[in-house]
Amino acid sequence: MKKYIYGFYLLVVVIIAYFSSQLSIIEPKKINSYDYLIGRWYSEDTDKKIVMEFSPDKKCQIKIFRSKSDTVFIDGEVYFDAKKQPNAFSIYKISDMNHPLHTIIAKVDENKLIIEKFAPKWRLRPISFGEKTKINLIKVER
């Protein structure tokens, strides 16, 4: 009988440890206002650097540096939906493209964002963050 009681207590401890570890995982948070995005955000990966700059007039400039000779510039107007979780994010009126770009964006903490890869159509945009496809952005202080 003692063996079953010890087994039961061990099972309870394992279950409690599992759920407490799940609570400590950082969940993306909703961004309540476009004002949070205003400023410069930076991401560096092994094969590329990304700089995103958001202005108060809802304009956005993205620079993607893949190598010394391969740089992509995207300028456009931002549509940001603060009602959805994760937040819907689109860039319209892009000068070098004939279509907008759509994705999702969320706040990790006060100086960190995550954003998914962009899609050319609203219906093809991501609906959740993938470990291998999300882009971590850090706010750059001037």
Cis upstream peptide for 86 (omega within 30°): yes
Structural domain containing residue 98 = 34-140
Query: What's the confidence (pLDDT) of residue 78?
Result: 94
Read off the pLDDT band of 105 (50, 70, 90).
very high
pLDDT over 80 (residue 104)? yes
Q: Please, where are the H alpha helices in the chain?
A: 2-23
Q: 0.75 exceeded by the pTM?
A: no
Query: What's the confidence (pLDDT) of residue 124?
Result: 87
CATH code assigned at 128 = 2.40.128.50
Return the higher-pLDDT residue of 102 and 110: 102
Counted domains in the chain? 1
Return the higher-pLDDT residue of 128 and 29: 128
Q: Is 22 exposed, middle or buried (0-12, 13-18, 19+ CB in 10 A)?
A: exposed
pLDDT digits (tens, 9 = 90+) for 63-98: 989 877 788 899 999 998 888 788 899 999 998 889
Question: Is 6 contained in some domain?
Answer: no
Q: Residue 50 pairs with which residues in a beta bridge?
A: 43, 64
